[in-house]
Amino acid sequence: MSLLTILLDVVGVAGMFLLLIAPHEAGHFLFAKLFKVRVIEFSIGAGTRLWSVTRNGTLYAIRAFPILGYVRMGGMEAGDLEDANGFHSRPAWQRIVILAGGPAANFLVAMLLITGFLLTQVNTDPGKVFTVVPGSPAAAAGMQPGDSIHAVNGKPFNQPGLIQAEEQLAPGAALTLSGVHAGGQPFMYTITPKLDAQGHPKVGLGLPIRLLSTQTAITDGIAFPFVTIGGIVQGIGSLITGRVPGGLLGPQGITGPIGIADIAYQSVSQGPPTYISLVALLSVALGFTNLLPLLALDGGRIVVVLIEVLRRRPFDRTSELNFQRWGLVALLALAAVISFLDIQRIATGQFPGLR
């Protein structure tokens, strides 16, 4: 493995965590500033401070480890609970917006990533050749990315899936593909598919799975977080009910920073589409997780605000702070257990990684 490859892998993993953490904390920060809450520190990363600057009473910092980040606001620490410009001095709806700003930013990042990627894949030609597998029958025949297939065995190529349908109709039989190259020159090739390890005939072409317009790319990008959350909820349900072997803490169960880093490392070598899709997926997962009604998470703090509204009086801030601290300790302990399991899964080859 070359030094350049190692550097790209490191940058890719660190970049993924930054794309997850920085927007999340920025969401909290921007709404806190909007509502004139005193922000003590806006930090990306954890540990040793690598760079910092103070502007208008706020310390902006970049720290050594990009797996964490935080926004320190007035009124949320011992000895500072009565800050007139602190978090708790603001109306309930403003506090909820500040807390929800982080997850909302994660969802927005996912929308932008998926929409941007899909816009590069806009295609109304079902026979458009995106990729040609090296060494495949199609490559040997002379087909190239950018070619447009107009007919297969004389049948017009009007809908995606025609080649696969013809391959399955007569497995191993030669296919006649006709169309035009990217430069406009017509072609007609007779190609005999090669059987893969499972005995499926393949000519070696990457073609559209479906037609994609600009409008569909945008609507799919916007819908991505909502569709993904549905999949996450369904997956958690499968883990809890035992439909997935091992359950929540099994080989295919929940994962933490170490497992995510391993997946990120794998995705870097698989190219931008895989990397972008993974970042978008993890961004939604981070936003959704933070909205869960657990102490020390944004969702848990939102529940506290809502209960205060219902009971029409605030909680004792010192008691609340202590509860939140215990919640944080519990979350860190859970993260440590999951990290240990991640290391064990990776070391024993049980970690599923990217499929």
Helical segments of the chain, H only:
3-34, 92-119, 137-141, 162-169, 214-241, 257-269, 272-290, 298-311, 317-348
Q: What is the DSSP letter of 239?
A: H
pLDDT of residue 82: 86
Task: Report CA dihedral (156, 160, 164, 167) to the nearest 10 degrees.
Answer: 0
Q: What pLDDT is attached to residue 21?
A: 95
CB contact at 8 A, 268 and 303: no
Return the biggest CA–CA distance within the chain. 80
Q: Is the dihedral of CA 298, 105, 227, 13 positive or negative?
A: negative
DSSP state of 91: -
For tokens 């936003």, the residue is 287
Q: Are 145 and 109 in contact (CB under 8 A)?
A: no
Per-residue pLDDT of the chain (355 residues; tens, 9 = 90+): 577 777 877 888 888 889 999 999 999 999 999 999 999 999 998 889 999 999 999 999 999 888 889 999 999 988 888 899 999 999 999 999 999 999 999 999 999 999 999 998 888 889 989 889 889 999 999 999 999 999 999 999 988 889 988 888 888 899 999 999 988 999 999 999 988 777 788 898 988 888 888 999 999 999 999 999 999 999 888 878 877 777 776 777 788 888 888 888 888 877 788 899 999 999 999 999 999 999 889 999 999 999 999 999 999 999 999 999 999 899 889 888 888 888 888 888 777 766 5
**273 CB-side CA count, 13 A:** 5
Cβ 196 vs Cβ 133: under 8 Å: no
Global pTM reads: 0.81
Q: CA 38, 40, 44: angle at the middle one, nearest 5?
A: 125
Structural domains of the chain in order of their starting residue, each with its CATH number: 3-121+257-348 (no CATH), 131-206 (2.30.42.10)
